[in-house]
Structure 1
């Protein structure tokens, strides 16, 4: 069995909760695609196979000192009080069953690698393969898969555990990601191999 980690990315209340800040966008796709239920089943399968789980969360200090003011993605976070660490909005959605033994990786940009503890975690644990999912498909999943590819990791993306703002956005991102990763449905992937 390859040494693997299952990275569940940006599945925080601000982004995926039906009552969160993004309920009218990501929340709709997450609900319609059953992303939370699919991801929870995949997390349970990973744990049963002895694969470590890591949750990646975007977040900023209460004064937003790490937030890039010129970013088209994050520039509105400060104005709208989003992605503030220590709030319910940046907590992992409770349906996913985060455990104290899971890795908790906080990021301040789109990539799960940039300026985070992810590289040292992967190195210290001898990880060879990353299984990726998250919201959004064309944001953190796309960036994570490309960065992981360039660091020589094998990448698997669980398509039914991802969502974009729209189905078209998701589909387009998945089509692009096939160059960097193997795309599978979570029910097709055997975490024990």
Structure 2
């Protein structure tokens, strides 16, 4: 059994699909411009070839939004705009990424994939020590994963060309802030082990 996992963070239709609400806006421009879907799929194929398990982390709320914090600057618009609703097309992983039946599915209700989710139990049960990760956005879920993973004593590897934020400036600033806590690589250079 491998001691690594590749976590693909928040690559769901509401955020990254061209027909999704955010895919038609700034996130979509960054996703297309940085080739995030193509790069992530290439990394996924490499991880699978190396027999490294894959986990898809998705943000989502019950249809009545019972888990959605009403005063959160980042999530308060979800209810109003009808997005991130579990069981809907919007919270499904983008189809180009080729999610498989054996992949881990981690649903979160906040920015961090560690907060009130099954992630820690999965990592411990499988003896995972190294987390490869990428996703959207660099300055939210990716940063939270790196910082919290670091503080839980995991080795963290970020695939920089599989991440983006609302702007290139936000992405670059987030990556600069993460350098002390993780190792950086790309979908082309990554060696899954």
TM-score category of the 2 structures, normalised to the smaller one? over 0.9
What are the Cα deviations for residues 62-104 of structure 1, in whole angstroms up to 9, with x where unaligned? 0000000110000010000010000000000000000010000
Scaled by the length of structure 1, the TM-score of the pair is 0.98
Q: How does 1:6-155 map to 2 (within 5 A)?
A: 6-23=6-23, 24-155=25-156
Indicate the SS of the match to 2:162: strand
Which residue of 1 is the match for residue 4 of structure 2? 4
Which residue of 1 is the match for residue 164 of structure 2? 163
Higher alpha-carbon deviation: 115-124 or 19-28: 19-28
Scaled by the length of structure 2, the TM-score of the pair is 0.98
CA contact (8 A) 1:55 1:103 kept: yes
CA contact (8 A) 2:2 2:52 kept: no
Instruction: Give, in whole Å, the separation in 2 of the partners of 1:21 and 1:29.
Output: 14
Gaps of 5+ in 2: none
Instruction: Give, in whole Å, the separation in 1 of the partners of 2:117 and 2:180.
Output: 25
Shift of 1:189: 1.1
Indicate the SS of the match to 2:161: strand
Shift of 1:143: 0.4
Shift of 1:187: 1.0
CA contact (8 A) 1:25 1:165 kept: yes
Instruction: Give, in whole Å, the separation in 1 of the partners of 2:113 and 2:14.
Output: 17
Structure 1 residue 172 and structure 2 residue 193: aligned?
Answer: no
CA contact (8 A) 1:2 1:129 kept: no
Gaps of 5+ in 1: none
Indicate the SS of the match to 1:186: coil
Shift of 1:2: 6.0
Instruction: Give, in whole Å, the separation in 2 of the partners of 1:116 and 1:25.
Output: 28
- Following superposition, which runs of at least 4 residues in structure 1 exceed 2 angstroms of deviation? none
Give the aligned length. 192
Instruction: Give, in whole Å, the separation in 2 of the partners of 1:76 and 1:178.
Output: 31
Instruction: Give, in whole Å, the separation in 2 of the partners of 1:181 and 1:86.
Output: 33
